[in-house]
Amino acid sequence: MFYIHHVPTWGRPPSAVHGPQARKGFVKVFYRRTLPHLQRDNKRHFVTFCTRDRWTLPNLAREIILSSSLHDDGFRYDLDAAVVMPDHAHLILTPLINQAEARVWLLPEILDAIKGASAHVINRKLFRRGSVWQEESFDHVLRGSEQIRDKVHYILQNPVRGGLVDRWQDYPWLWHRPFTNPCQPGRPRAAAPTQSKI
């Protein structure tokens, strides 16, 4: 069970579903299960969730979890990076606007969808029953571009640090959004604003 306390800041969410408009901050949400959680609109969140009793996930299960994590990218959240390790997963995501309710998707809704869908498919495909995930997850708000880069690097290097591969590029249950450098040579420039003739 969790309690939600909305702390209004400066207005109503924009109508855009994703992109820069959806990342304008509007509300802080605090909720508690066992651990306290703070969600900030328009901010990236680093999320970790673990298997129940630290169950080691077979390869098929890792594939299902990565697919479940990518499923609502662009709808409920913008996903920057994800890795599925043998007994836990890390995500960096920004919750988006729930158009039907004119509010930002809550982290418990997002994580319940990912964990619930993946657990259902894992249990069906592996002919097993019971919980796949611990009920609780760990999350925190990322505050600056430096910290975001560090956390993406942490996610990419996690399989290497765990001794699973020599290079992160060789780990099959890892995904990250490609970084596009706006100053890259050869990249088309934005058109100059046209001046009105009044």
Q: Which residues pair with 103 in a beta bridge?
A: 98
If one counts the domains in the chain, the total is 1
> What pLDDT sits at residue 7?
38
Please provide the size of the chain in residues.
Answer: 198
What is the reported pLDDT for 193?
Answer: 45
In a domain? residue 102 = yes
CA–CA–CA angle 151, 153, 154 (5° rounding): 60
Q: Is residue 188, in this structure, part of any structural domain at all?
A: no
Strands ordered across the beta sheet of 88-95: 138-141, 45-50, 88-95, 77-84, 174-176
- On whether residue 197 sits in a domain, the answer given is no
Tokens 């450098």 correspond to what residue? 181
For residue 193, is it within any domain? no
Domain contains 181: no
Query: Are 40 and 120 contacting, i.e. CB atoms less than 8 angstroms apart?
Result: no
pLDDT of residue 16: 37
Q: Which domain holds residue 39?
A: 5-176
In a domain, 184, yes or no: no
SS3 137: coil
Residue 147, pLDDT score: 87
Is residue 26 a part of any domain in this protein? yes
DSSP three-state, residue 57: coil
Q: What is the pTM of this model?
A: 0.76
Amino acid residing at 108: P
For residue 36, give both structure tokens.
């306290």
pLDDT in tens, the chain (198 residues): 333 444 333 333 333 334 444 444 445 555 445 556 678 888 999 999 999 999 999 999 999 999 999 999 999 999 999 999 999 999 999 999 998 999 999 999 999 999 999 999 999 999 999 999 999 999 999 988 878 989 999 999 999 999 999 999 999 999 999 876 656 665 555 444 444 454
Looking up residue 90, the CATH number of its domain turns out to be 3.30.70.1290
- Alpha carbons 107 and 51: distance in angstroms, whole number: 18
CA distances from 110 to 1, 130, 183, 194 (A): 15, 21, 34, 42
How far, in Å, CA of 15 to CA of 27, rounded?
15
CB 130 within 8 A of CB 120: no
| pLDDT at residue 29, as a whole number | 57
